[in-house]
């Protein structure tokens, strides 16, 4: 981290801390303003030169473009470039961007953000290399080992350098692998493909969330806890959202995925225990971890033991499952938004509100599509959404403003 960046970071933290100092009567409000004014110049510089996040975004986009460019170049000249030539391009560009990135960020220290993005580029080219080798040997397009090796291969870098971008890349790779690998093991004939897959993703979302909480509780890992929590929450809620529709077709899990269920549940339990043993926890941690545990237990137990229902019991069972899913989903949303309020966590609030809106839209369609004439349906729907948007935006702005400081974990 460069010295200017460290100063900005310090300024942000100072603003958070100083409120507490005033509250505890350590300093007077007047002193607070004086102290803050001393660092105001730095803030202005930050605003003029564009916020650090913008630089990060631009350089990350640059890395992705170069990565895609290299892949396209090889693809377009497939038969002209000999095998070793393709591999040479991959190896040399991967090592070059890793090396240059490390040099800029940690040795010379003058372009830390660009350096970080170059290291991300190296990780992207590493993945491209895996798929290129698979292509050279004509391995079928369906290749779950590819994302698996990619994800596991870049994970150590994410931990060593504490990179949220590379960690997110690794998590997404592993989630893709999970979907590809498990779809091999779900029988299209005997199982309910959608529900089985969605339940599996629900479990993996909860597991990621739990791993994230565990990371948050330990100081040395706190910096990289947010990819786990954000991706985990998004996956959990997306899966829960799908379950609120009429997707249930008589079965939930499949025996082909028992290993996946057990490993995910095991990972979640280990993270949960480590989290419980750790010293520092945030407000509302107990309801959060208990809800996650109950949701995990419910999904695992249903996936393992839910017996295929008979044809006669079909309709009522479908109703029970769909209704329960809807109820649980609504509770999840309320829980997440409340947690966001208690903890002043904007990420939780935003995710909660997003799925709240999606849920309202879906239920509106479910209930009123058949009952109202189409024109009235659309007009009323539009009015509800618009006024809902106004209310939500107002509310959201007020809540975020009341937090009055930037969340460290975003």
Q: How far is the CB of 55 from another protein (least distance, A)?
A: 22
182-190, 213-221, 296-304, 340-348 -> range binding another protein (CB under 8 A): 182-190
Question: Is the CB of 188 or the CB of 311 nearer to another protein?
Answer: 188
Binding mask 119-138 for another protein (x = CB under 8 A): ---x---x--xx--x-xxxx
Inter-residue contact 341 to 399 (CB < 8 Å): yes
**243-302 positions binding another protein, by CB under 8 A:** 256
| Closer of 90 and 243 to another protein (Cβ) | 90
Nearer of residues 183 and 346 to another protein, judged by Cβ: 183
98: helix, coil or strand?
A: helix
Nearer to another protein, 2 or 350 (CB): 2
Q: How far is the CB of 90 from another protein (least distance, A)?
A: 8
Interface residue with another protein among 70, 104, 148, 157 (CB under 8 A) is 157
Angle in degrees, 0-180, between the axes of helices 52-76 and 83-102, rounded to the nearest 10:
170
> CB under 8 Å to 408, separation ≥6 — which residues?
12, 13, 16
Number of residues that bind another protein (CB under 8 A): 42
Task: Enter the DSSP assignment of 311.
Answer: S
Contacts of 158 (CB under 8 A, 6+ apart): 164, 166, 167, 169, 170, 224
Instruction: Rank residues 146 and 205 by Cβ distance to another protein and give the closer one.
Output: 146
Residues 71-130 that bind another protein (CB under 8 A): 75-80, 87, 90-91, 94-95, 98, 102, 106, 122, 126, 129-130
Build a one-symbol-per-residue string for 187-206: x at contacts with another protein by CB under 8 A, - elsewhere.
Answer: xxxx----------------
| By the rule CB under 8 A, 2 interacts with another protein | no
Select 256 or 284, whichever has its Cβ closest to another protein.
256
**For another protein, which is the closer residue by CB, 127 or 352?**
127
3-state secondary structure (DSSP) of residue 79: coil
Name which of 223 and 372 has its Cβ closer to another protein. Answer: 223
Residue closer to another protein by CB (options 25, 79) is 79
Binding-site member from 32, 43, 185, 281 for another protein (CB under 8 A): 185
CB of 184 to another protein, least distance (A): 6
Contact between 15 and 405 under an 8 Å Cβ cutoff? The reply is: yes
Least separation in angstroms between residue 141's CB and another protein is 5
**Phi, psi torsion values for 18, nearest 5 degrees:** -65, -30
Contact by Cβ (8 Å): 14, 35: yes
Rule CB under 8 A: is residue 382 a binding residue for another protein? no
Residues 6 or more apart in contact with residue 162 via CB below 8 angstroms: 223, 224
Q: Which among 203, 186, 337, 176 is positioned nearest to 267, based on CA atoms?
A: 203
The whole-angstrom separation of Cα 60 and Cα 166 is 11
Measured distance CA(257)–CA(186) in Å, rounded: 7
DSSP per-residue letters across 174-220: HHHHHHHHHHHHS-TTTS-HHHHHHHHHHHHHHHHHHHHHHHHHSGG
CB count in 10 Å sphere of residue 112 = 20
Q: Binder to another protein among 25, 140, 220, 310 (CB under 8 A)?
A: 140
Token pair for residue 182?
A: 């498990």
Which x/- pattern over 319-358 shows residues binding another protein (rule: CB under 8 A)? ----------------------------------------
153 is a site residue for another protein (CB under 8 A):
yes
In this structure, are residues 101 and 116 in contact, taking their beta carbons and an 8 Å threshold?
A: yes
Q: Where does this chain bind another protein (CB under 8 A)?
A: 75-80, 87, 90-91, 94-95, 98, 102, 106, 122, 126, 129-130, 133, 135-142, 149, 153-154, 156-157, 160-161, 184-190, 256
């Amino acid at each position: 981290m460069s010295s200017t960046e460290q100063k900005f970071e310090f300024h942000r933290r100072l603003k958070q801390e100083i409120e507490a100092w005033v509250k505890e009567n350590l300093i007077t409000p007047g002193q607070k303003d004086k102290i803050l004014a001393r660092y105001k110049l730095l803030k202005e510089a930050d605003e003029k030169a564009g916020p650090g996040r913008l630089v990060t975004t631009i350089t990350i986009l640059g890395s992705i473009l170069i990565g895609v460019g290299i892949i396209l170049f090889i693809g377009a000249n497939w038969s002209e470039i000999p095998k070793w030539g393709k591999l040479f391009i991959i190896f040399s560009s991967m090592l070059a961007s890793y090396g240059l990135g490390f040099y800029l960020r940690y040795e010379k220290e003058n372009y830390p953000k660009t350096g970080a993005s170059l290291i991300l580029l190296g990780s992207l080219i590493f993945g491209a290399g895996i798929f290129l080798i698979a292509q050279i040997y004509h391995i079928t397009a369906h290749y779950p080992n590819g994302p698996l090796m990619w994800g596991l291969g870049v994970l150590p870098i994410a931990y060593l350098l504490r990179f949220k971008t590379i960690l997110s890349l690794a998590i997404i790779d592993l989630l893709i692998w999970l979907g590809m690998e498990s779809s091999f093991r779900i029988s299209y004939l005997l199982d309910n493909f959608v529900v089985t897959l969605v339940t599996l993703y629900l479990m993996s979302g909860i597991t990621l969330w739990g791993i994230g909480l565990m990371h948050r509780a330990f100081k040395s890992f706190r910096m990289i806890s947010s990819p786990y929590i954000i991706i985990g929450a998004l996956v959990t809620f997306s899966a829960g959202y799908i379950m609120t529709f009429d997707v249930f077709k008589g079965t939930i899990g499949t025996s082909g995925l028992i290993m996946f269920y057990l490993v995910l549940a095991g990972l979640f339990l280990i993270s949960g225990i480590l989290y419980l043993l750790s010293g520092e926890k945030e407000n509302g941690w107990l309801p959060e971890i208990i809800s996650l545990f109950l949701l995990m237990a419910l999904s695992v137990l249903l996936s393992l033991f839910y017996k295929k229902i008979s044809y006669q019991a079909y309709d009522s069972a479908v109703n029970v499952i769909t209704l329960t899913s809807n109820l649980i989903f609504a509770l999840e949303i309320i829980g997440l938004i409340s947690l966001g309020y208690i903890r002043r966590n904007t990420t939780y609030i935003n995710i909660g509100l997003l799925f709240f809106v999606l849920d309202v839209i879906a239920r509106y369609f479910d209930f009123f599509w058949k009952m109202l004439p189409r024109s009235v349906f659309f007009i009323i729907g539009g009015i509800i959404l618009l006024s809902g948007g106004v209310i939500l935006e107002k509310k959201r702005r007020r809540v975020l403003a009341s937090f009055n400081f930037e969340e460290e974990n975003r």
